[in-house]
Amino acid sequence: MIRTFLVFFVLISNVILAQNKLNLIPYPQKVQLLQGEFILPETFILSGDLPKEETEYFKKRIEPQLKFQYAQKSGGIHLTSSIIPASSPADAEHKKEYYSIEISPNQIHVKSYTKQGYFLALQTLVQIFEQYKESKKIPAMKIEDQPKFAWRGMHLDVCRHFFTVDEVKQYIDYLAMYKLNTFHWHLTDDQGWRIEIKKYPKLTQIGSKRKESMIGAYVDNTFDGKPYGPYFYTQEQIKEVVKYAQDRHITVVPEIEMPGHALAALSAYPELACTKGPFESATKWGVFDDVFCPKDETFTFLENVLDEVIKLFPSQYIHIGGDECPKTRWKECAHCQELIKKNNLKDEHGLQSYFIHRIEKYVNSKGRKIIGWDEILEGGLAPNAAVMSWTGVDGGIEAAKSKHFAVMTPGAYCYFDHYQGDPQSEPNAFGGFTPLEKVYSYNPIPSELNAEQAKYIMGVQANLWTEYILDFKQVQYMIFPRLMALSEVGWGTSDPKDYKEFENRVINQFKVLDDMKVNYARSIYNITGKVIPSNTGIAYELSTSQNTNGIRYTLDGTNPSINSKTYQNAVQIPNSLTIKSAYFEEGQLKSAVSVQPFTISKTTGKKITLEQQPSENYSFGGAFTLVDGIIGNVKQLGKTWLGFQGKDVVATIDFGQKTPFSEVYFNTLENKGSWIHLAKSAKIFVSDDNRNFKLIKEVEASEIQNASGKIKVNVGAQNAKYLKVNIENAGIIPAGNPGADSKAWLFVDEIGVN
Ligand code: ACM
Ligand code: ZN
């Protein structure tokens, strides 16, 4: 039974004021400084009966800076611990991650109920030793601590790109450093099957390879022409990783995707699909129509696979995927349709539910539980299933309200494949914009839940999908420092109001990552630009979470140096130009150079209203984004574009006075793999009173297709106070496309006139 608790601790956690917080992440529930200090000795004496493996791990982490010795006799011992017996099984469950540390002038004493609690205490001690390694004087203190959430997870996709056993172990070490306790290993997907299954050798002989891989931005639709794989983990390697994680008190939750994301499996065993095949592992990213067909043969296969998986992974939960399963094939498959009839199912969504229920029953019969992405709610949730809420928070809310456990991992806060800084200065990423501060601001308990329902929120997790992450250096870059924010959110001591203070602790952790040669992102130093309306049109406001006095900029296209203009107030942008800016500290360039071109038109900075609002994940600066002088860039889906799912864009621009123009332009995007479709049509109107609009131009689908979405049309000589542009969403995605039958996305940017 998993419970959330610790309300009591949270109330008394701020014993130490923000400005003199210790450099700890996640910050403990309660820290109390006491009189005196513990002086770090030459050789640190450990009591002889400390839990062995945990202590050895601790020693390894700080061995270079400190010598260790186990005590031969009592007296003069520096680190002692006691493991307290729990008074009841419920108590044991509640307190298994509890620990206290008492640092007094002579000794450090750790108390916990379990070895896991002791291990967590040692992670805190490592950070304390790190902070005081120069002065060697650790203030006496008492820390009492335990996490708010039982599930604090990080996911890693090893299908789109593969990572070696050593790299996976490093990843697990990163989780351990910041007290995360769950590693969600995404082992199967369309682009590769990565786990050896003895009964089905073709899964890895065939399914662990693909012909080539898509490169660069999805919209480029280019491929590297290089065979990828065979890449997979043998069962011996899996055991090694599971053991490695266990030693660090981390649970490994394996994910075997079904019924969708199954192309690699079908490439090996085409008879498990609705149609004959042959199939190949996917070479591009996205969602594919060929999925497992719910026939007996498929269930036998999946049950046999799960048998081997369950033997390898002792986790309570087995992740069965369940996300993004197109129903295209099921609709046309005689067997599937027969099954729907026979079982009185409503439709193909009912069939998805049937699929998951049947798998759940099997997994439950083996004494385990299933967890799946929130689409497992489709057509009714399986009786004991837990939900991993990723498309937003609604899946988690629905689960909790119906007394099912949920792990919150909403894309807007927890997808670490999103950009963490201005995409101009970041390596190519999936899209979205999820900077450190956004992760830190996340509260895993949705406000819609009452206290009783909130108990079903097991915790929080971040996901790292690796379509655009080619190597382990890039993995490090994408998770650090955001993993630290996730860690504190999961621990329950984050406070978005204190983000600046948190950021200072993050910068302190950079020294540790430097020593470990970890390639972390320095994006927090980077400059964020924000366009604001001004009397002359627009102005560009520059900021960094550091001291803005350190910002230098140029308007002439040259790279900024320490001698360039010092930023003071928002820079006026009177005409089309490029602003380049960077952050300097003590004469040193700390940030990437931010480059922002502006294209000024008569609409720039004008008042704009939208009849329907964009989706939360792609709403960037609201309607103003369409007249901010920044032309949408395909690398910046989360920033310069507005995204609308299943909705038209109806934008009205108020010029303020009658304004002559003869050309109208706007951009829409196409990226079918991500369900983004070009507009179906567009209509352009003018008005002088914002009530009576005159249609001045219709743009047909073919014209939009031919221009690849970049529309620029002659509208004849106009002179009007209002311009209205109505851009029609493609609607329901047609069969044969990724996401068929779902609502298409319409991405729009910058509406201008000349
Ligand atoms: C997911 O991101 N498809 C779970
Ligand atoms: Zn079928």
Structure confidence by residue, pLDDT tens digits, 223-276: 999 999 999 999 999 999 999 999 999 999 999 999 999 999 999 999 999 999
Residues whose CB falls within 8 Å of the CB of residue 171, separated by 6 or more in sequence, listed in order:
154, 156, 163, 183, 475, 479
Query: Looking up tokens 């690849």, which residue turns up?
Result: 708
Higher pLDDT, 76 or 545: 76
What pLDDT score does 348 carry?
96
Structure confidence by residue, pLDDT tens digits, 652-682: 999 999 999 999 999 999 888 788 999 999 9
Cross-strand bridge partners of residue 112: 83, 99
Query: How far is it, in rounded angstroms, from Cα 345 to Cα 343?
Result: 5
**Which candidate, 456, 431, 524, places its Cα nearest to that of 485?**
524
What pLDDT score does 390 carry?
97
Residue type, 545: S
Radius of gyration of the chain, Cα coordinates, nearest whole angstrom: 28
Ligand 1 closest atom vs CA 373: 4
Helix (H, G, I), strand (E, B) or coil at 655: strand
Answer yes or no: is pLDDT of 75 > 80. no
Smallest CA separation from ligand 1 atom 2, residue = 390
Residues whose CB falls within 8 Å of the CB of residue 21, separated by 6 or more in sequence, listed in order:
27, 31, 501, 505
Q: What are phi and psi of 459, to 5 degrees?
A: 160, -155
What pLDDT score does 476 carry?
98
Q: Under a CB-based contact definition with an 8 Å cutoff, are residues 655 and 720 in contact?
A: yes
Q: Under a CB-based contact definition with an 8 Å cutoff, are residues 393 and 446 in contact?
A: yes
Query: What burial letters (b/e) apply to 61-70, b meaning 16+ CB within 10 Å?
Result: bbeeebebee
Q: What angle do CA 262, 733, 256 make, to 5 degrees?
A: 15
Query: Looking up tokens 């917080």, which residue turns up?
Result: 21
Ligand 1 closest atom vs CA 324: 3
Strands 551-554 and 577-585, how do they pair? antiparallel
Cis peptide before 446 (omega within 30 of 0): no
Phi-psi region of 567 (alpha: psi -120 to 50; beta: other; left: phi over 0): beta
**Which candidate, 182, 491, 160, 149, places its Cα nearest to that of 318?**
182
Query: How far is it, in rounded angstroms, from Cα 392 to Cα 734?
Result: 24
What pLDDT score does 10 carry?
27
Residue type, 317: Y
Strands 607-610 and 588-589, how do they pair? unpaired
Query: How far is it, in rounded angstroms, from Cα 464 to Cα 160?
Result: 11
- Nearest ligand to residue 371 Cα: 1
Mean pLDDT of the chain: 93
| Ligand 1 midpoint to CA 321 (Å) | 8
Q: What are phi and psi of 148, to 5 degrees?
A: -75, -40
Q: Of the ranges 16-20, 22-26, 33-37, which one carries the lowest mean pLDDT score? A: 16-20
Query: How far is it, in rounded angstroms, from Cα 334 to Cα 337?
Result: 5
Q: What percent of the chain has pLDDT above 70? A: 96
Answer yes or no: is pLDDT of 709 > 90. no
**Which candidate, 130, 136, 137, 142, places its Cα nearest to that of 177?**
130
Answer yes or no: is pLDDT of 9 > 60. no
Q: Which fold has domain 151-237+253-523?
A: TIM Barrel (3.20.20)
Residue type, 570: A
Residues surrounding ion ligand 2 at CB below 5 Å: 274, 293, 333, 335-336
Sheet holding 43-46, edge to edge: 30-39, 137-145, 99-103, 108-112, 79-83, 43-46, 67-70
CB-neighbour burial class of residue 225 (10 A; exposed 0-12, middle 13-18, buried 19+): exposed
Q: Under a CB-based contact definition with an 8 Å cutoff, are residues 450 and 121 in contact?
A: no
Helix (H, G, I), strand (E, B) or coil at 599: coil
Answer yes or no: is pLDDT of 383 > 70. yes
- DSSP structure string for 439-474: HHT--SS-TTS-HHHHTTEEEEEEB---TT--SHHH
Q: What are phi and psi of 77, to 5 degrees?
A: -90, 135
Ligand 1: residues with CB < 6 A are 323-324, 373, 390
| Ligand 2 midpoint to CA 272 (Å) | 9
Q: Per-residue pLDDT averaged across 416-423, rounded? A: 89
Q: Per-residue pLDDT averaged across 338-364, rounded? A: 97
- Helices 296-312 and 348-365, interaxial angle, to 10°? 40
* Domain spans in the chain, listed from the N-terminal domain onward: 23-145, 151-237+253-523, 527-591, 607-753
Q: Under a CB-based contact definition with an 8 Å cutoff, are residues 638 and 620 in contact?
A: yes
- Beta carbons within 10 angstroms of residue 329's beta carbon: 20
- List Cα–Cα distances, 619 to 425, 481, 624, 637, 652, in angstroms: 21, 24, 10, 10, 17
- Nearest ligand to residue 259 Cα: 2
Residues whose CB falls within 8 Å of the CB of residue 188, separated by 6 or more in sequence, listed in order:
159, 194, 195, 255, 256, 257, 261, 262, 264, 265, 321
| Ligand 2 midpoint to CA 210 (Å) | 24
Q: Under a CB-based contact definition with an 8 Å cutoff, are residues 533 and 605 in contact?
A: yes
CATH of 607-753, one of 3.40.630.30, 2.60.120.260, 2.60.40.420, 3.30.70.100: 2.60.120.260
State the pLDDT confidence band at 457, using cuts at 50, 70 and 90.
Answer: very high
What pLDDT score does 370 carry?
98
Helix (H, G, I), strand (E, B) or coil at 54: helix
Which residues have a catalytic role annotated?
A: 324
Q: Which of 159, 319, 323 to mutate to test the pocket of ligand 1 (most atoms within 8 A of CB)?
A: 323
Smallest CA separation from ligand 1 atom 3, residue = 323
State the pLDDT confidence band at 738, using cuts at 50, 70 and 90.
Answer: confident
459: its two tokens:
């915790």
Q: pTM value?
A: 0.84
Residues whose CB falls within 8 Å of the CB of residue 335, separated by 6 or more in sequence, listed in order:
274, 293, 294, 295
Query: How far is it, in rounded angstroms, from Cα 46 to Cα 59?
Result: 10
Answer yes or no: is pLDDT of 30 > 60. yes
What pLDDT score does 430 carry?
87
* 228 DSSP assignment: B
| Ligand 1 midpoint to CA 323 (Å) | 6
Higher pLDDT, 574 or 17: 574
Structure confidence by residue, pLDDT tens digits, 606-642: 999 999 999 887 888 899 999 999 998 776 666 788 9
Domain 23-145: CATH class, spelled out: alpha beta
What pLDDT score does 409 carry?
98
